Amino acid sequence: MWFPLALAVVLSVQSSPPRETQSKSLTDVTGVWVMLVAGHQIGLELEQKGTKVEGIMHAMGQRILLVGEYADRKLTLKGERPEDQLVHGDTEAGPMTATMLDDGTLEGELSTNKGQTKWTGERFKKPQAR
C-alpha cells in the first residue's frame, strides 16, 4: 500500500524543475519571449545583467532595440534611440512595462499608435523531439 504512494511522491519530485530554476525564472528575464499584443505575436529577445536589461523586439519586419531594467519582478523597457520608440514617429512614447507573474509569464502595457495597449508574454518553448 505504501509503495504506490512513495512512487507517486518520487515521480512528482523528479518531474518538477529544481526550486532554484523556478526562482531564477522569476528573477531573470534573459531569453526569448513570445509577446501577444492585440492578437499579434511579437518576438522579444532579452539579456539581463544585474538589473539592466537590453533587448530586441521583432515586430512587423522591424527590429527595435530596447534598454531598461528588471527589479522586484517589474520590467521597464524603452527604445534605445529616439527612432527606436515603440510608436513609429512619436518620440514621446512611454516605456513598455510588465510584471512577472507567479507562473513565470509577463503581463503589462505598451504604447502603440492607438494608445496604451495591454500585452502578455511567455518564454519561447522549443518543440519537444519525438
Looking at the whole model, is its pTM more than 0.75? no
How would you class 87 by CB atoms within 10 Å of its CB: exposed for 0-12, middle for 13-18, buried for 19 or more? middle
Q: What distance in Å separates the CA atoms of residue 46 and residue 65, rounded to the nearest whole number?
A: 10
* Strand-pair partners of 36: 41, 120
List the chain pLDDT tens, one digit each, 130 residues: 433 433 333 333 334 444 334 446 899 999 999 999 999 999 999 999 999 999 999 988 889 999 999 999 999 999 886 665 555 444 455 789 999 999 999 999 998 777 899 999 999 988 877 7
Whether domain 29-123 has CATH 2.40.128.120: the reply is yes
